């Protein structure tokens, strides 16, 4: 570490000035905005008993924040979406503790974006390298099993090219890209006749059920709208036996803190809401996040979570739509496999070698999987 720089770990993001943090962001990705990350902490979403301990890394030059990374000490692997449960099991079988570990990520959000926040200064490449070095050093000095950075964007991924002992890993999500279509019908025109027919039938089925959809931005939502959206979110997690970590207060906070970067799709029959989805957006990308419904209607999930979002992108000039993790059913609806990247440092050299070998085999299988998926592309020509 250069003598002019000081590294510090913060146990709450509120310890870092919001304007100073946001000045380091390369774009308007909402998930690394101070308001989003601090809101998770301030509104009851991150609990030590659920495995989340904030440990945000910051680099200072003469008390001025020059680089940072959202970091956590994790007591489990919940809410990460880059699955390492088998690694933890291997450690346990060998009498070693895998947890706690260090993680740079956005909690409960499998969204690609910046993690190594360095602004646009001339020494930004060096600062990225120093952040990576600091994560490794903290893991070693605190006796942690590992350090991880999930869902890196291309710039951060490139910074790991020369990072010693960090293992690269990748996977696929299904994303939609705007090929310059003028409207939803134009978009459908790029698809095969069978896929185009299926989508039209799904949308017509929802319409025949008397359901209409309304899109509201955060500053257009009433208190009752927020309660409705959050109740649907909770119902989905309850139905699957999972823990709904995000609170109503956090949803409402986003509506106030970033009112035009958060929106909901609310499906109604008459005056009754029967489904809803919450999404976030940047200047060029829409992010689908949380959904729920009170009725099981064919095509309703696709309408609320996919088709309304695509239509919103086309009307508002957004170039990408990332609807969330997993889901091969997205392929037939216009979402193509898109790479996601993560990087992993294992302190134990033996495990690092074994896991590195496993990841290389995994990469071959994942590339074959992507090739197979593209044989079933819904488009007549690649958009």
Q: Which residues of 298-334 are buried (b: 16+ CB within 10 A; e: fewer)?
A: ebbbbbbbbbbbbbbbbeeebeebbbbbeeeebbbbb
Distance, in Å, from the CA atom of 164 to the CA atom of 160, rounded to the nearest integer, reads: 8
Is 383 or 106 the better-scoring residue by pLDDT? 106
Beta bridge partners of 341: 152, 170
Beta strands in 123-241 (DSSP E): 146-152, 166-177, 211-217
3-state percent breakdown (helix, strand, coil) of the chain, nearest 5: 40, 25, 30
pLDDT for res 239: 77
- List pLDDT tens digits, range 9-35: 999 999 999 999 999 999 999 999 999
Say if residue 59's pLDDT is above 80: yes
Torsion angle of C-alpha atoms 228, 52, 287, 233, degrees rounded to 10: -20
- So where are the chain's domains? 5-171+338-374, 179-318
Q: Which residues of 20-52 are buried (b: 16+ CB within 10 A; e: fewer)?
A: bbeebbbeebbbbbbbbbbbbbbbebbeeeebb
Residue with tokens 């904030």: 54
Say if residue 161's pLDDT is above 80: yes
Say if residue 148's pLDDT is above 80: yes
Say if residue 188's pLDDT is above 90: yes
Q: Average the pLDDT over 158-166 and give the result.
A: 93
pLDDT for res 383: 75
Residues in the chain: 383
pLDDT for res 138: 96
Instruction: Judge whether 334 and 187 are in contact, CB under 8 Å.
Output: yes
- List pLDDT tens digits, range 280-338: 999 999 999 999 999 999 999 999 999 999 999 999 999 999 999 888 999 999 999 99
Q: Is the dihedral of CA 156, 158, 159, 160 positive or negative?
A: positive
Task: Check if 5-171+338-374 and 179-318 are the same fold.
Answer: yes
- Give domain 179-318's CATH architecture: 3-Layer(aba) Sandwich (3.40)
Distance, in Å, from the CA atom of 176 to the CA atom of 336, rounded to the nearest integer, reads: 6
- Please name the fold of domain 5-171+338-374: Aminopeptidase (3.40.630)
Say if residue 234's pLDDT is above 80: yes
Q: Average the pLDDT over 45-64 and give the result.
A: 95
Strand order in the sheet with 166-177: 52-54, 71-74, 101-104, 146-152, 336-346, 166-177, 320-322, 285-293, 272-281, 262-269, 211-217
Distance, in Å, from the CA atom of 68 to the CA atom of 21, rounded to the nearest integer, reads: 7
pLDDT for res 238: 79
Give residues with Cβ within 8 angstroms of 52, minimum separation 6: 46, 72, 74, 75, 79, 107
Question: Among the listed ranges 227-241, 348-362, 367-381, which one has the minimum average pLDDT value?
Answer: 227-241
Tell me how far CA of residue 149 lies from CA of 111, 138, 176, in angstroms: 12, 14, 24
Q: Average the pLDDT over 45-57 and give the result.
A: 95
Strand order in the sheet with 64-69: 5-10, 56-61, 64-69
- List pLDDT tens digits, range 192-224: 999 999 999 999 999 999 999 999 999 999 999
pLDDT for res 242: 82
Helix (H) / strand (E) element for 195: namely helix 193-208
Mean pLDDT computed over every residue of the chain: 96
Residue 81 binned pLDDT confidence (cut-offs 50, 70, 90):
very high
Helix orientation angle between 34-42 and 248-257, rounded to the nearest 10 degrees:
150
Displacement of CA 306 from its chain's centroid (Å): 16
Q: Average the pLDDT over 213-240 and give the result.
A: 94
């Amino acid at each position: 570490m250069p003598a002019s720089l000081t590294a510090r770990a913060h146990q709450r993001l509120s310890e870092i000035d919001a304007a100073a943090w946001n000045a380091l962001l390369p774009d308007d990705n909402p998930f690394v905005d101070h308001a989003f990350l601090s809101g998770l902490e301030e509104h009851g979403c991150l609990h030590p008993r659920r495995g989340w301990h904030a440990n945000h890394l910051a680099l200072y030059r003469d008390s001025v924040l020059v680089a940072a990374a959202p970091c956590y000490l994790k007591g489990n692997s919940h809410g990460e979406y880059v699955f390492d449960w088998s690694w933890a099991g291997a450690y346990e079988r060998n009498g070693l503790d895998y947890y706690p570990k260090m993680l740079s990520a956005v909690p409960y959000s499998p969204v690609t974006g910046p993690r190594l926040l360095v602004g646009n200064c001339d020494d930004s490449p060096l600062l990225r390298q120093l952040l990576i070095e600091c994560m490794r050093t903290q893991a070693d000095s605190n006796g942690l099993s590992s350090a991880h950075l999930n869902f890196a964007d291309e710039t951060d991924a490139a910074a790991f090219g020369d990072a010693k002992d960090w293992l690269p890993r990748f996977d696929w999500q299904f994303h939609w890209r705007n090929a310059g279509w003028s409207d939803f019908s134009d978009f459908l025109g790029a698809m095969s006749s069978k896929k185009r027919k299926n989508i039209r039938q799904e949308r017509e089925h929802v319409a025949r059920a008397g359901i209409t959809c309304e899109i509201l931005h955060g500053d257009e939502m009433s208190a009752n709208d927020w309660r409705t959206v959050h109740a649907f979110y909770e119902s989905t997690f309850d139905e699957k036996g999972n823990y709904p970590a995000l609170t109503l207060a956090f949803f409402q906070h986003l509506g106030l803190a970033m009112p035009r970067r958060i929106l909901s799709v609310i499906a109604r029959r008459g005056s009754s809401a029967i489904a809803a989805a919450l999404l976030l957006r940047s200047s060029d990308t829409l992010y689908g996040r949380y959904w729920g419904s009170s009725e099981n209607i064919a095509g309703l999930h696709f309408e609320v979570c996919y088709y309304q979002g695509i239509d919103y992108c086309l009307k508002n000039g957004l170039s990408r739509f990332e609807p969330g993790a997993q889901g091969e059913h997205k392929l037939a609806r216009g979402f193509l496999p898109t790479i996601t990247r993560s990087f992993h440092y294992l302190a134990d050299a033996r495990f690092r070698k074994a896991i590195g070998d496993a990841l290389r085999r995994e990469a071959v299988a994942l590339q074959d999987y992507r090739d197979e998926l593209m044989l079933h592309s819904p488009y007549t020509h690649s958009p």
